[in-house]
Amino acid sequence: MSGGDSGYEVFWKEAVHQIGEKISEQEFLMWFRNMDYLNSGDSNILVAVPSSFYKDQVTQRYLPSLESTLFELSGQKLQVTFKVQKTSAQIESETKNEKAKKIDKASSKKKKRPHSQLKQEYNFERFVRGDNNDFAYMASYAIAKNPGKAYNPCMIYGGVGLGKTHLLQAIGNLSYQEFDNLKISYVTAETFTNEFILSIKENTIHRFKNKYRSVDMLLIDDVHFLPGKVETQEELFHTFNALYDANKQMVFTSDRPVSELKKLSDRLRSRFERGLNVDLQPPNYETRIAILKKKVEEKNVEIPDAVIELICQNIKTNVRDLEKALTKLIAYAELVNRTISLEIAERQLKDFFTENDYRNVTIDLIQRTVAEYFALSPNDLKGKRRSKAIAFPRQVAMYIVRNLTEYSTTEVGLEFGGRDHTTVMHACQRIEDRMKTDATLSPTIQYLIRSIKDYRP
Ligand code: ADP
Ligand code: MG
């Protein structure tokens, strides 16, 4: 207390306390925790508040009752004056923030800001190794540590949901942390294609070429999207050569071996085949268990081993489906606020397990089933004719393929007489729209889907 203080602090405190009894705790904390008694004169009390807004608010809300309480307590008319200045609560919270910031800085000293095109979760630590993927893992790791030196280019191939994107981005993430000035670009083949087309349209092709030919590491995901795209392939071929000659690292992924990519120019194919080709196989039971346990740990949930085993016994296809089953269970458990038991898991995932059990559904089977239903031949669906009698069944077949299989629109187009992927997208949209207005269509499609799923050769 400074000199000349009339010592009204006790009255002030008691007045605040009494007001606190009349209002909610929240309200009290909101307005009174942030006030500091400063000093008092003969007939006034000076109180610090953090802002003018605050000053106006407390003046309006509490000044009259504060002054009348003070009057009752001291028997004197005491005037309260609010002064805007830093309060102790403010100073305290600021130092706390500073400390937190410092700790943050210290712990992230080595880490850079995340790369804008890469997901941070896709790193090597989170990738579970097994016989099915170990070679691909080691090759990817070596590439990330020695870009442009060890294996250039590299093609990682394997079915959907087996970790291609994860490994590809893990390479980018690790190299990005390890090397300060490495320019890394990650792009899907689809985006690459779209950017290329746009650059032609907008007359910015030079910028496009520059962008991809000036990187130190080029990561292109899902090159099975490229078949049939002649100009894009041409452009990628030249990009490849420029980067290759400059010893810049390139890594590609594809859902099948290069030799099985149809409609790929020979020279691009030979470029893809030039480097290291590694494959990802579906994980075996032990690896599936290890992967799922890791995901459970990352999500920080309690799941009995029996449930993990149940999922791994039933889902054999790929890691993405394992994750989906887990996510579904967790969502359910959170919704009904219960822990996950084996019974719950069995019940909740029953449909999911059967739903996933149509790996032998092929485009061919779908075409045959749909053709038969509409009294056509499968060749009609694959052919060029556009008569209504054929166009509609063809759209139905495309729609079912997209719903039952993992083929991309590009691939579906190829299987239906070399049609463009936009035609496939359009067909699916047409069917969806039509189902809204035509009540008989949905049951028809459900019937077809059931016969396709139930098909036993
Ligand atoms: P793809 O690109 O081959 O279709 P992704 O890389 O997208 O597959 O993988 C699908 C999901 O499965 C991702 O969430 C990924 O993190 C996860 N995943 C795949 N393989 C593994 C693995 N070996 N360990 C941990 N997670 C994996
Ligand atoms: Mg992928």
What is the CATH classification number for the domain harbouring 352? 1.10.8.60
Tens-digit pLDDT profile for residues 379-403? 999 998 889 899 999 999 999 999 8
Q: Quick one: 240 and 296 in the same domain?
A: no
In contact, 132 and 233? CB cutoff 8 Å: no
In the reported structure, the alpha carbon of residue 161 is separated from the centroid of ligand 2 by a whole-number distance in angstroms of 7
Tens-digit pLDDT profile for residues 196-242? 999 999 999 999 999 999 999 999 999 999 988 999 999 999 999 99
What is the CATH classification number for the domain harbouring 128? 3.40.50.300
The arithmetic mean of pLDDT across residues 267-288, rounded, is: 92
Q: What is the largest CA-CA distance in the chain?
A: 105
**Structure confidence at residue 73 (pLDDT):** 87
Last residue of a domain, one of 358, 386, 406: 358
Tell me the residue range of the domain where 47 lies. Answer: 9-89
Neighbouring residues of 332: CB distance < 8 A, sequence distance ≥ 6: 340, 344, 348
Q: Quick one: 228 and 268 in the same domain?
A: yes
My answer on whether omega of the bond before 153 falls inside 30° of 0, hence cis, is yes
Tell me how far apart the alpha carbons of residues 392 and 385 are, in angstroms, rounded to a whole number: 11
Tell me how far apart the alpha carbons of residues 221 and 456 are, in angstroms, rounded to a whole number: 35
Q: Quick one: 135 and 266 in the same domain?
A: yes
Neighbouring residues of 28: CB distance < 8 A, sequence distance ≥ 6: 19, 20
**Structure confidence at residue 104 (pLDDT):** 62
Structure tokens at 364: 């061919």
Residues with a CB atom less than 6 Å from ligand 1: 126-128, 133, 158, 160-166, 291, 319-320, 323
Q: Which of 117-121, 271-275, 401-405 holds the top average pLDDT?
A: 117-121
What is the CATH classification number for the domain harbouring 398? 1.10.1750.10
In the reported structure, the alpha carbon of residue 323 is separated from the centroid of ligand 2 by a whole-number distance in angstroms of 14
Pick from 179, 319, 354, 153: which is nearest to 236 by CA? 153
Tens-digit pLDDT profile for residues 5-30? 878 888 899 999 999 988 887 778 77
In the reported structure, the alpha carbon of residue 167 is separated from the centroid of ligand 1 by a whole-number distance in angstroms of 8
Q: Reduce the secondary structure of 320-333 to three states and give it as a string.
A: HHHHHHHHHHHHHH
The arithmetic mean of pLDDT across residues 306-335, rounded, is: 91
Closest ligand 1 atom to 287 CA: 23
Mean pLDDT of the chain: 89
Q: Which of the 8 DSSP states describes residue 84?
A: E
Last residue of a domain, one of 240, 261, 280: 280
Helical H segments across 75-155, by residue range:
88-107, 134-145
Residue bearing tokens 């393929």? 401
Q: Which of the 8 DSSP states describes residue 112?
A: P
Residue bearing tokens 């120019």? 265
**Strands 79-84, 184-188: parallel, antiparallel or unpaired by DSSP?**
unpaired
Probe target for ligand 1 pocket from 134, 318, 319, 408, with the most ligand atoms within 8 Å of CB: 319
Closest ligand 1 atom to 169 CA: 6
In the reported structure, the alpha carbon of residue 222 is separated from the centroid of ligand 2 by a whole-number distance in angstroms of 7
Q: Quick one: 121 and 267 in the same domain?
A: yes
Q: Which residue has a Cα nearest atom 20 of ligand 1?
A: 163
Q: Quick one: 344 and 250 in the same domain?
A: no
Q: Quick one: 339 and 449 in the same domain?
A: no
Q: Quick one: 314 and 173 in the same domain?
A: no
Neighbouring residues of 336: CB distance < 8 A, sequence distance ≥ 6: none
Total structural domains within the chain: 4
Tell me how far apart the alpha carbons of residues 197 and 232 are, in angstroms, rounded to a whole number: 8
pTM for this predicted structure: 0.61
